[in-house]
Structure 1
Amino acid sequence: MARNANKKILLQENRFCIYCGVDEPSTTWDHMPNKGMFPKDRPSGLEFPSCEKCNQGSKWFEDIASFIGSVQWSSVEGHITDHFEAKLGHLVRNHPDALEEMQPSISQSRRARKITDHDGNHAGALNLTGPIVSEAMLLYGAKLGLALHWETTGEVLPPSGKVGVIWFSNENAILDEVPQHLFELLPQGKQLRQGTKVSKYPFEYQSAKANDAVTTAHWATFSGAFMYYLFVSESMDFSVLPEENIHRPGCLRSPKPHSTRVGWSIGPVTLPLRND
């Protein structure tokens, strides 16, 4: 009861949804990163006032990002494996089109097999380039950018503001393809904490605010499975980024794209015999 009362007070103090650009009143408290990203132990913190449309509209891409976040190169704890199986089952039931998109090409599989761990095990691959998965990862980054901007400044990004999203897969990290010079601009990384409790899922983030107080920069990594550079501003020039990497407040209500992949099947397959 006390927890619900605290949430009600917080919503009264923060009257507008941080994801809409001062457009909708806040009616619910949203976790970002979402609870589904964590196997068991998401501590409190990074909770944000949201409207119902943004909270519910982001569920589809949170499901996909949570699955990708559960894919570990090596599992050091059993619950990580359980988490992957749970996220995979959820994707099969609710987003089979996204899972279909993730089937790797021959070249992607070959490239992955060149990567081995210390025991000589070869890597597998997921195709993250399809329209559903690509949009999901960009929107997840945009939501995180809006949330961390509000945490850093205490201000809602207005409708004229933009979020620039750059994301990297664990393949980019393994092959040292993640630019390191941006780390120098950001302070020491932070983790979710609740008293002495720290999440065993290693989500880590960093934030910095520019002198103009309307521009923020952020870096975040999700257990090494994927990572983001995020730039949020009312005035920053985003022309160096592709248009699809730039999002505005209200983008969380974007519907899931349609897949362009042709259907696939796995064998063995038994075909019915015709009796002529």
Structure 2
Amino acid sequence: MAAKIFMDMPGGLRMPAIGLGTWQATDDSELETALNAALEIGYRHIDTAFVYQNETLPMNGIHEDRVEMFMKKSLENLQLDYVDLYLIHFAVGVKYFEGQVRPSLDDVQTEKSDHIAIWKKMEEQVDAGRTKTIGISNFNAKQIEKIIKNSRIKPACLQVELHVYLQQRELVKFCHQNGIVVVGYSPLGSPGYNNFIANFGQKPRQLPDMLHDAVIKKIAEKHKKSNAQIMLRYLLQNSIVPIPKSVTPARLKENIDIFDFSLDSEDMKSLDDLEVGEEARVCDFKLYPA
């Protein structure tokens, strides 16, 4: 099965079928080097976030009164007049304190989020020319359906954690049936996640280790590819846009070099069978209080 190089979004726009994730890449020189290398190699889909501290609408911006303010902050930080796609980072918002970038665990206070009111403010950002289109991240099917039924501009994409151990098939199916592009973050797991939660005083936990999975390794040997390339290709052939994070030029090249081979039906079935479900979720957001 051939994988698309672009995914079609609502309104005639197209999204490159593989992107570069930048979560945990906050060192300026490291990130600049990685971005320069990525653009030279051919990446044209770069995922950033305000909450990553390298630049989506962050959790403390998820309120109808703060959408435009954070949209403008992002454009100022990125030194751009507009972005191609702007996302709401999470379905639950937290209270905002002036000057705060990323809420700490000590002062996080969740607040009720009116998804429809927020979405209408997101639509205004399209009308104002600050973004070509808009989407969501970490939303479930029920929340997405509510937005669809009350939207003038339909969500262009949903970004969620997706990999061979956490396939979220029903959510992916729902999005595809509604013409929403699905973007998968942490497509190779997230080996650095424990380093991230350590910043919040959280203890490390056992993470899914797909990069050394024997089934994936066997398929990789068959195609003369790496385990990572097999995992990314699997998502592509399921019409999911993976956004693996790397700052190493060799890995950046490896991650995008997945359009010259195809997984056959036997490969796909073997990878389907690796589904674990919620127990394999890396980014569970449990570090934030309910």
Q: Same fold (TM over 0.5)?
A: no
TM-score (norm 1): 0.30
Larger Rg: 1
